[in-house]
Structure 1
């Protein structure tokens, strides 16, 4: 194998392993895994895992970042489809739900218990709240949404999203995450409807 071919195979292999880590962690969480177990489950060597990140903790953070980065692209793509602000807000929140659907309760519990990964998640949630705020501001400026305090709507959405992910909404309502997001989308859009 030529050096150039080996060089391109190395990064491609690392990317594939990172994608496999994302899928495994979403399905089963990450706290209980050792590096040996991860290597066995992913059919790779520990040196391949170390090529992705220098420790198990760094692997977890890299996988969580990858998951949220890809989810963000998918959510933004969906939110760009509707022509009106209300449709974009609804599409955005429903797309967040769709992207989070593969994540198990174990993944979310492990995420909450591991501060570096929890911070990635919290930052992503804050970004989502700011994005909803921007969509509200755009809709109010265009006159398609009633005049509303966009910062408040964004902050409220951020808090509800955090409560959904923490399991507080499910505990209080028996709604699963997807249903909770559908209700949040309906509530926000109805509340911003221009009379």
Structure 2
């Protein structure tokens, strides 16, 4: 058995596999249009098996969204940890965020936007990511690599753009895909704060 993504219960190997398969399915196709029966058919399991993961379709969606963001956060932090230079660390972080979000289709983002509990998970993770960028910038300021900046303004600016990227607003306004938008954000930040 393995621990769950929430740490609340233990998962069997099959349940962990189903959670990963649900994540892949939701990222590719969204989740609002599925019933539990649809999901059971697609995943070749029973509804009872899905109920072992969550008590309702809505709770299952929230669990899968949390699972996705928990794994994405771990991947982003692993990628960032290898960078010693403050400027490269900011760039690596934002590029890793872009890479982690790449599998998330427009259908997934649309469903997330229309599902308040899922949107809350997304917005919380975006705020945490923006705080992380702010901390990375503060480290660069302390190391003398970046000029003094107002951390709350930087965090607010990063949060706003990350939310727009995630909702697809930036793609509609600029034609940039998410990965390109995150690269541009990294470049813009570094140009604005470099000494």
When normalised by structure 2's length, the TM-score is 0.93
Structure 1 position 48, deviation (Å) = 0.5
Can you list the C-alpha shifts for 1:118-155, whole angstroms capped at 9, x where unaligned?
00000000000000011111111111111111221111
| Residue aligning to 2:14 | 13
Query: Following the alignment from structure 1 to structure 2, what is the Cα–Cα distance between the partners of residues 15 and 96?
Result: 24
1:150 aligns with 2:156: no
Task: Quote the residue 1:178 is aligned against.
Answer: 179
**SS of residue matched to 1:143:** coil
Please give the alpha-carbon distance, in whole angstroms, between the structure 1 residues aligned to 2:72 and 2:26.
15
Q: Distance in 2 between matches of 1:10 and 1:83?
A: 37
Moved more, 97-106 or 80-89: 80-89
Between the aligned partners of 2:129 and 2:11, the Cα distance in structure 1 is 34
Runs of 4+ in 1 over 6 A off after TM superposition: none
Offset at 1:10?
6.0
Structure-1 residue corresponding to 2:115? 114
Name the CA shift for 1:113/1:189 in 2 (closer, same or farther; >3 Å).
same
Q: Distance in 2 between matches of 1:192 and 1:53?
A: 45
TM-score (norm 1): 0.93
Change (3 A) 1:47 1:186: same
The alignment yields a C-alpha RMSD, in angstroms, of 1.4
Structure 2 match to 1:164 = 165
Name stretches of at least 5 consecutive residues in structure 2 with no aligned partner.
2-9
Q: What secondary structure is seen at the aligned counterpart in 1 of 2:12?
A: helix
Instruction: State the alpha-carbon separation in 1 of the partners of residues 73 and 22 from structure 2.
Output: 18
Q: What is residue 83 of structure 1 aligned with on the other side?
A: 84
Q: How far off its partner does 1:64 sit?
A: 0.2
Specify the structure having the higher radius of gyration (Cα): 1
Q: Pick the structure with more helix per residue.
A: 1
Distance 1:81 1:41, change over 3 A: same
Mapped partners of 1:59, 1:131: distance in 2: 28
Distance 1:181 1:10, change over 3 A: closer
- Corresponding position: 1:102 with 2:103: yes
Equivalent residue pairs, number: 187
Distance 2:96 2:11 in 1: 33
